[in-house]
Amino acid sequence: MKVELSKRAQRSLARIDARWRGDADFPETFRDELDASIEHLESVSAPGTRWATPKQPELRRMLLEKTKVHVYFVLNASEQRVEVLQIWDGRRERPPQL
């Protein structure tokens, strides 16, 4: 499957990555874990856990264990595509509005 990041997900990635690079003891952790999750999304037919919302009934998410960041995405099996809608820091104590 091909993984595509929405503009919102790209902005979130940049913001979270900058914070990790500026403040963390191991600044590469977030990018390394995100890159591994993207490889996983490309290679597995049904990744993540269903996390349906009224607007996104097919929404799924995957937790990046080390950084506690969630990757929210939808699968389009017919197009062999995964669209990442949002990358969200799970420590924010509330889910994103999707």
pLDDT higher than threshold 80 for residue 92: no
Cβ atoms of 21 and 98 within 8 Å: the answer is no
Does the pLDDT value for residue 26 go beyond 90? no
Structural domains of the chain, ranges and CATH numbers in brackets: 2-92 (3.30.2310.20)
Q: What is the maximum alpha-carbon separation in the chain?
A: 42
84: which strand partners? Answer: 5, 73
pLDDT digits (tens, 9 = 90+) for 30-74: 999 999 999 999 998 889 999 999 999 999 999 999 999 999 999
pTM of this prediction exceeds 0.95: no
pLDDT score of 93 more than 80? no
Confidence of residue 27 (pLDDT cuts 50, 70, 90): confident
Name the amino acid, one letter, at 3: V
